[in-house]
Amino acid sequence: MSAAGIGYIGDPMRPAVLFPLFADVTSLPGIGPRFGKLIAKLAGPKVADLLWHRPFGLIDRRFQPSVADAPEGRVCTLKVRIEEHVPPPNPKRPYRVLARDSSGTVELVFFHARGDWLTKALPIGEIRLVSGRVERFRGHVQMAHPDRIVGEDQADELLKLEPTYPLTAGLPAGTLRKAIELAVERAPELPEWMDGPLKDQRRWPSWRQAIGFIHGPSGPGDLEPTASARVRLAYDELLSNQLALALMRAHQKKQAGRRTKGDGKLRARILKALPYSLTQSQITADAEIAGDMADDKRMLRLLQGDVGSGKTVVALLAMISAVEAGSQAALMAPTEILARQHFATIEPLATAAGVPVALLTGRDKGKKRDEILAGFENGSIPIAVGTHALVQEGVAFRDLALAVVDEQHRFGVDQRVELSSKGKAVDVLAMTATPIPRTLMLAAYGDLDVSRLTEKPAGRKPVDTRTVPLERLAEVIDAVGRAMASGGQVFWVCPLIEDNPDSPMDETAAAEVRHAELAARFGADRVALVHGKLKAAEKDKAMGAFSEGVAKLLVATTVIEVGVDVPAATVMVIEHAERFGLAQLHQLRGRIGRGDKPATCLLLYQTPVGEAAKARLATLRETDDGFRIAEEDLRLRGAGEVLGKRQSGMPEFRAADLAVHSDLLPIAADDVKLILAKDPELESERGKALRTLLYLFERDAAVRYLRSG
Ligand code: ADP
Ligand code: MG
């Protein structure tokens, strides 16, 4: 078969055995451009995409009662002789076809039907099998618009459990089903890439059999995500995901790195200047990072730790190693607030060690900016902290050795690349405050090097978290007043406003209203306000007043979610907590309990609360372990949602559902380790089969990392 002839899509290196699956869906008989477009929208443009389009239900066409026994409201297949056609007397009336078996007569009813089509499909005197929902109307047995009409010779094909598929407007169910049947027929026998013992132990079918089972279920159990065929396909996909990530990683590690190792003198000064001692997990993370940097390979390590776990200091120590080695280091944060926060932590410590450091954000203009840039370029400023401004054109370093990228909640692959391209063989440290469950971590990064900060710095007390109905707002305001009177500071978070065109209030307006009310009660100078629409200078002023303790209460929208370190803040009020996500509430709450005084978080909710929101609030009350919360979030929302698919860089899976199949991921990861240890270039029989697997799941890019890719 010529690839071009069937509408070939994609990579020219793809194995020929896969060509039929990577043809355009319009290469299937019965699918022209119009249906092709609809299928592309629904499932994808290729034949293979139809294989991944799974049925969600079953219709049992095997039920074959006599006409007299056909129960009302149930799908039946009736075997009848066609007796008479009754065209409608006027176009508003239906076309009727009378048919019978030995027990009685059934009326087949068609609205807006074409008579010529019906005379062909239901010729008088012939036997037909008609299948559809039976109705009884004034004692008559009726079937309106049978789903299927076939002759006796096609009985076997009809009398089955028929899968039902998700549809899109304009695409008839029968057309889609037929197209999928053809796609399944086209699915070739593929070389087995699966580890033999694993396949036997799990009693998994072959790939082709599995595709057949998925689309030809023999009972409702076969539709479950735990059905053996589905699990096999999920494993295939996860295996391809892990293999692709591992190949990419192996390639990365082969690229030239540099040895960055200092003499420890500056580091000793920093440690001396710290007003606290490092936690055990900070010490471990620091050693892991220093080890990577001293190695001649390129570092790509993720530093993972809950809000307030002390990542900045760990990053600073890494940056100091680069400075000791005579090079430079840069830390980039996703927002201005966060960049300033990092700078505020880093600057006094670096200064104590005699190391110049500069902050560069989009706000720096003119002479000041020029001076900073000159310092980066001539090396007189060895440490840079900043926002995206750091990767703009015109920013250059004398010798950048380490790029630290604070990613917060995203997987900022692009940012890492951008920043590290400002130097040669740059080591990269990514930081995230999202306690990503191990499973998601594996899926997104593969076997990336990770350091985790699992402890909270000493002296921190767990936050006392309570849920309070909004009706008790007045009492909450009183309690806030008492906390302020005894020297505490309070965050007041205003709700997300759901997308509601009828609502006159947006997030900003809600915060302004609450601010006005609280300012009237507690005094305008003691109550500050920040929201996303404020000018930068106004925002700074408000944040400054709060962090210096002049303002005791800060009314804010979720802009405070990232960053903001005010250890004296001991109370957080979150209005309409039921509208927030679990991870988001956890991040918000992490803003308090950073000092040594006991802290309280009040989650105000509007009754009645839905089940999911109730579960979220209960989880928050019970635990402040970020990893547990992340696992729970995954359970409640599913993988795609947890990180926000689009911006997260999380791969989208077609056969696998991480909420169900996540236990397969570590197995696939181990499998990949063994495979690559034995056959790093995928040249053995199994290796070649695995290449096919990579192409099947469109991980073509990974194959190019192989010597003979
Ligand atoms: P993260 O960036 O992980 O959210 P930070 O690095 O901002 O956390 O640290 C939060 C606060 O904890 C900062 O004020 C920092 O000075 C302080 N801190 C960091 N490490 C320790 C420690 N080992 N003991 C006490 N306080 C610490
Ligand atoms: Mg290195």
At 307, list the tokens.
Answer: 């809000």
- Atom index in ligand 1 nearest the CA of residue 342 equals 7
User: Please, are residues 313 and 565 in contact by the beta-carbon 8 Å criterion?
Assistant: no
* Cα–Cα distance for residue pair 623/234, rounded to 1 Å: 32
In CATH, the number for domain 58-164 is 2.40.50.140
Q: What is the structure's pLDDT at 564?
A: 64
Alpha carbons within 13 A on the beta-carbon side of 660: 16
Residue indicated by tokens 């990770």:
450
Q: What is the structure's pLDDT at 409?
A: 56
Q: 464-623, superfamily in CATH?
A: P-loop containing nucleotide triphosphate hydrolases (3.40.50.300)
Pocket residue to mutate for ligand 1, from 565, 589, 594, 624, most atoms within 8 A of Cβ: 565
455 lines ligand 1 (CB under 6 A): no
Most distant pair of Cα atoms in the chain: their distance? 102
Q: How far is the CA of 591 from the centre of ligand 1 (A)?
A: 12
User: Please, are residues 47 and 20 in contact by the beta-carbon 8 Å criterion?
Assistant: yes
Give every residue of the chain whose pLDDT is below 70, as ranges.
1-12, 408-414, 435, 438, 447, 496-505, 559-564, 637-651, 708-709
Topology match between the domains 265-453 and 464-623 = yes
Q: What is the structure's pLDDT at 149?
A: 95
- Atom index in ligand 1 nearest the CA of residue 309 equals 3
563 lines ligand 1 (CB under 6 A): no
Q: How far is the CA of 278 from the centre of ligand 1 (A)?
A: 9
Under DSSP, is residue 46 helix (H, G, I), strand (E, B) or coil?
strand
312 lines ligand 1 (CB under 6 A): yes
* Cα–Cα distance for residue pair 410/60, rounded to 1 Å: 46
Q: What is the structure's pLDDT at 573?
A: 96
Q: What's phi and psi for 264, nearest 5 deg? A: 85, 0
345 lines ligand 1 (CB under 6 A): yes
Question: Which ligand is closest in space to the CA of residue 314?
Answer: 1
Q: What is the structure's pLDDT at 410?
A: 58
Sequential DSSP letters for 618-687: HHHHH---HHHHHHHHHHHH-HHHHHTHHHHTPPPPSS--HHHHTTHHHHHHHHHHHHHHH-TT--SHHH
Which residues on neighbouring strands pair with residue 200, listed in sequence order?
Answer: none
Q: What is the structure's pLDDT at 692?
A: 96
- Counting every residue written for the chain, the total comes to 709
- Atom index in ligand 1 nearest the CA of residue 313 equals 6
User: Please, are residues 215 and 55 in contact by the beta-carbon 8 Å criterion?
Assistant: yes
At 482, list the tokens.
Answer: 């008492």
Q: How far is the CA of 424 from the centre of ligand 2 (A)?
A: 11
Q: How far is the CA of 300 from the centre of ligand 2 (A)?
A: 9
Q: Which residues fall within 8 angstroms of residue 338, CB to CB, at 6 or more apart? A: 406, 408, 562, 563
Q: What is the structure's pLDDT at 588?
A: 86
Q: Which of 588, 690, 679, 623 is nearest to 250 (CA)?
A: 679
Domain definitions of the chain by residue range: 4-57+180-218, 58-164, 231-254+664-704, 265-453, 464-623
Q: What is the structure's pLDDT at 637?
A: 66
Strand-by-strand arrangement of the 569-574 sheet: 464-469, 600-605, 569-574, 489-493, 553-556, 527-530
Q: Which residues fall within 8 angstroms of residue 507, CB to CB, at 6 or more apart? A: 494, 495, 496, 497, 531, 532, 557, 558
Pocket residue to mutate for ligand 1, from 302, 309, 406, most atoms within 8 A of Cβ: 309
* DSSP annotation of 706: S
104 lines ligand 1 (CB under 6 A): no
Average pLDDT of the chain?
88
Pocket residue to mutate for ligand 1, from 306, 313, 319, most atoms within 8 A of Cβ: 313
Alpha carbon dihedral 233, 236, 238, 242, in 10-degree steps, equals 180
Q: How far is the CA of 453 from the centre of ligand 2 (A)?
A: 22
* Cα–Cα distance for residue pair 408/425, rounded to 1 Å: 24
Q: What is the structure's pLDDT at 443?
A: 76
Q: Which CATH number fits domain 265-453: 1.10.10.10, 3.40.720.10, 3.40.50.300, 1.10.3720.10?
A: 3.40.50.300
Which residues on neighbouring strands pair with residue 26, listed in sequence order?
Answer: none
The enclosing H or E element of 468 equals: strand 464-469
432 lines ligand 1 (CB under 6 A): no
596 lines ligand 1 (CB under 6 A): no
Sequential DSSP letters for 139-187: TEEEEES-SEEEEGGGHHHHSSEEEE----TT--HHHHHHHHHHHHHHP
Q: How far is the CA of 371 from the centre of ligand 2 (A)?
A: 30
Q: How far is the CA of 141 from the centre of ligand 1 (A)?
A: 76
The one-letter amino acid at 466: R
The residue whose CA is least distant from atom 20 of ligand 1 is 310
The residue whose CA is least distant from atom 23 of ligand 1 is 278
565 lines ligand 1 (CB under 6 A): yes
